[in-house]
Structure 1
Amino acid sequence: MRAAPVLIALLLSVYPFAGSASETPLERGTYLVRAIVACGNCHTPQGPDGPVAGQELAGQLVIDFPEFTAYAPNITSDPVSGIGNWTDEQIIAAIREGIRPDGTIIGPPMPIDLYRGMSDEDVRAIVAYLRTVAPVRNEVPKSVYRIPLPPSWGPPVGTVATPSREDKVAYGAYLAGPLGHCVECHSTFVNGVPDTKGHLGAGGNRFEGPWGISVSANITPHADGIGHYSDADLRTIFKTGARPDGTPIMPPMGTAYYRNMTDADIDALIAYLRSLPPLPSPAGD
C-alpha cells in the first residue's frame, strides 16, 4: 500500500486534464477527489499548516454547532476504523443515500441531498480512488446530533447520468452541487442546514478551526457577492487560493484542492455562479 501515494502523484502528473473519453475510473476518481470533490477537506485531519502528513482521509472533527458536533469518519481502507470491509455498493450507498452498512443514517454536514445527484460514473470513480488510499488506524468519535435526523434522505438512488460538458451552466451546476457541494457552505444556514431555496449562495456562515474564524462568502452575482469580480478574478481565486488583492482565502474553503481543477471546469463553475439569482448577504455579515 505504500506505493499508492506514488501512483496517485504519477496519475496527477500524467493526466492533468481530466474529463477525456479515454480516462480510466481511477484517473477520473483521482482528479475528482484531489480537485472539486475535495473529500480530504473534511476527512483528512487538519493542523494549523494544513493537512496532517500521513493521515489522508483518516477522519477528524469537522464542525461544532449548537445543532450538532460532527466528525468526518475515517474513510481509508483500514478494516477496523475505516471502510476496508465495505463493499463498493455499500460505499456508494453511504455517499449518495447517507446509509451506512449497519442501516444507520449519516447526518450533516455530509451533503447527501446534493450527493444524490452524483452520477454513477463519478461515484464509482471515487470508490476506485478510495481503494488506493493507504489504510490508517484512527478511531474517530461518532457525531452527536441535537436535532432529529430523517429516517432516510429519500428513495433509493437510481441511474444518474453525468451531465454534458457542452452545456457550461448545467455542468457548472453539477460541479457546484453534486460534486463540489459549494452551495452547501455558501448557502445561508437555517437551523444548522443550508437553505438552498431561499438563500442559495448568499453565504454568511461562520466556521471555526485551527485557522480561527471564517465566514462563507456570498457567491451570487449580487454586489455583496461576486458581482464586482471579473471572470479572470474568479479564476485567480480558484487557482491561487487568494483574492485579486492578494489576501488569502481562509479554510474551510478547499483551495489546496480547487487549484487542481481544469480550466474548463473552472469556467463552467463560473458560468453557473453568474447564473444564480443575485442575493444580498445576510444581515450582519
Structure 2
Amino acid sequence: MGNDGLRTRLLALLPVLLAVSGAQAQAPQPPAADLIARGRYLTLAGDCGACHTAPGAALDFGGGYPLATPVGVIYSTNISSDKIRGIGGWSDEAFVRAVREGVSQDGHLLYPAMPYDAYAKLKREDVLAIKAYLMSLPLAASSVPSTELSFPFNQRWGLAFWRWLHLARGELKDDRAQTPAWNRGRYLVEELAHCGTCHTPRTFTYGMDNAKAFGGGDLGSWVAFNITPERNAGIGTWNRTELASYLKSGCIKDKASAGGGMAEAIEQSLQYLTETDRLAIAEYIGSLAAVGDNRQTRPRDRWGTASSTVYALRAGRLSSVTGAGLYNSHCASCHGGEGEGNGDGEGFPSLFHHTTTGAYDSRNVVAVILTGVSCRGQNTTVMMPAFTEWLEDEQVVALSNFVSAQFGHPSAATITPARGKARREALRAPSPAAIEDGRLKETPNGS
C-alpha cells in the first residue's frame, strides 16, 4: 500500500478517533478523595444521617425516618446514591436547590421538617461536597412511606407562601469585624449545624422567631433550652471550654448531661467536629444577644441541694406510689440516696445543680423518666433506662414532682396525672411505616 492509500485511510478514521477522544474527555471523573473526605465531615456536622436513616436500617441515608411535627408525621427522603429512589440521578443544580431552597428535583416543594430555612445560606461548594460524599456510598434501594398530612397541610402549594416569609437566600458572608473563629462558629451554628431549628422559638407560622434567636424552643414533650449567654434563662454561667467539652462528651460534671434530641446530635454529629470547630461554636454562642425569661429566676445549674429525705424514710415503710418511695426503688442506686450522683458524676450525674432539674419547666424531667437517656460521647457514656413500661402515669407524676421539689426547681413540681398521661402519649414514637390493606404505602423518594 502506498503512502497515499495509508493517508486516505487515516483521514477516514480521523472523525472516529476524534469522537472517541472527545467522549473520553467528557466522561465524568470520580470526585477526588479529599473532596469526599470533606463532604463526609460536612455531612456529620450537618447531622444528615440522623434524619435520613430509618431506625434499624441496614444502610445509611435511605430515608424513612418518622419526624413528628406540629402538623403530623413527615417521613424523611432517601438521599442515597440510588438513581430511582435516591439522588443518584440528580444534577448538582437540583441537589443544591433542594438543600438550600426546599424544592425537589421534580419541582414539588419540601416540607420544612427538612431545615432548608437554616441551610439557605450554605456555601454551594459545601453542598456539592456533601453530594460527592453521598454519591460515594453504597446505594440504599429502599422506598419511603408517603407523608400524608391532613387538610390544609397536605396542600404543598401553601409552602410557597411559607418559603416567601421565612427563606433568606444568598450565601452567608463573613463579618470582617469579627475573628475567623467567630465567623466559622456563626456558619456552623446558624447554617450547617442548624442549632436554631430546635433552640429558637417559632412564630405562629412555624418560622423561626429571630427576635428571640436561640432563646429556647418548644419541641412538644421536650424543651430545647435557651443557649444564649443570659445568666438565668440561658447558659451564661458556662465558659467556652465547658461548652466545647459538652459538645464532645454530652455532659459536664455537676452541671449538665444531654438527653433527647441533644443527645442524638452529640452522639451522631457534634462529637466528630474538630476541637477548633467546637471552640468556634462556643465563641459564637457566647456572643449572642441574651434572651431572658422572668420565670427562670436563678441559673438552671444553681437549683437544689442534697436531700436526706430518702435516707430518713428508709427506716420506715416507703410506699411504692410516693415520690420518695419510687426514687428509692428506681433511682437511688445510680443517682445516690441524696441525689448526689455516683462515680465520676458524669455517667450517673447529680440531680441537684443540674440544668435539667433546675428548669422551671419539667417536661425534660418527665421525658427522661419515660424514654431514658442514651448519649455516647467521646470517652463518656451517659445511659439511663426508660421507665415507660415500668411506671404508671400516677407514678411518673409522683416521681417527677419529687425530683423537681427535692433536687431542682420547686415551681416545676406541678405535673398533674392528666398532663403526665398526655406527655406519655406524645412521646410514643410514630410508626415507621404506613400500612393500608396489608401493603406498604410508599413513594419513590418520600416527601
| TM-score for the superposition, normalised by structure 2 | 0.51
Shift of 1:268: 1.2
Q: Which runs of 5+ in 2 are unaligned?
A: 1-31, 296-359, 362-447
| Higher mean C-alpha displacement, 53-62 vs 175-184 | 53-62
Please, which of 205, 208, 214 is the counterpart of residue 201 of structure 1?
Answer: 214
Q: Which residue of 2 aligns with 1:258?
A: 270
Indicate the SS of the match to 1:123: helix
**In structure 1, distance between residues paired with 2:76 and 2:107:** 18
Please, which of 56, 69, 81 is the counterpart of residue 60 of structure 2?
Answer: 56
How many pairs align? 252
Shift of 1:157: 5.7
Please, which of 16, 32, 37 is the counterpart of residue 42 of structure 2?
Answer: 32
Indicate the SS of the match to 2:74: strand
**In structure 1, distance between residues paired with 2:146 and 2:173:** 33
- Identity, in percent, stands at 30
After superposition, what is the alpha-carbon deviation per residue over 1:32-61, rounded to whole angstroms, capped at 9, x for unaligned?
Answer: 112x21101211223xxxxx3523111134
Please, which of 136, 150, 155 is the counterpart of residue 160 of structure 2?
Answer: 150
Indicate the SS of the match to 1:103: coil
Distance 1:53 1:64, change over 3 A: closer
**In structure 1, distance between residues paired with 2:123 and 2:137:** 22
Shift of 1:156: 11
After TM superposition, the structure 1 = structure 2 runs for residues 164-183 of structure 1, keeping only pairs within 5 Å, are 166-183=179-196
Shift of 1:282: 9.0
After superposition, what is the alpha-carbon deviation per residue over 1:191-250, rounded to whole angstroms, capped at 9, x for unaligned?
Answer: 36243422210113225xxxxx53211111112211111222112211112233375412
Q: Which has the higher contact order (CA 8 A, sep 6+)?
A: 1
Amino acid at match of 2:200: S
Q: Which residue of 1 aligns with 2:420?
A: none
Shift of 1:270: 0.9
After superposition, what is the alpha-carbon deviation per residue over 1:48-91, rounded to whole angstroms, capped at 9, x for unaligned?
Answer: xxxx3523111134432332422211111122322222122211
Distance 1:224 1:149, change over 3 A: same
Q: Which residue of 1 aligns with 2:28?
A: none
Residue 272 (structure 2) pairs with residue 272 (structure 1): no
Shift of 1:118: 0.3
Shift of 1:92: 1.2
RMSD, aligned CA: 2.8
After TM superposition, the structure 1 = structure 2 runs for residues 209-248 of structure 1, keeping only pairs within 5 Å, are 213-222=221-230, 223-245=232-254, 248=257
Which one has a bigger Cα radius of gyration? 2
| TM-score for the superposition, normalised by structure 1 | 0.78
**In structure 2, distance between residues paired with 1:127 and 1:39:** 11
After TM superposition, the structure 1 = structure 2 runs for residues 17-166 of structure 1, keeping only pairs within 5 Å, are 24-34=34-44, 36-46=45-55, 52=56, 54-145=58-149, 146-147=152-153, 148-150=158-160, 153=163, 160=171, 163=174, 166=179
Q: Which runs of 5+ in 1 are unaligned?
A: 1-21, 47-51, 208-212
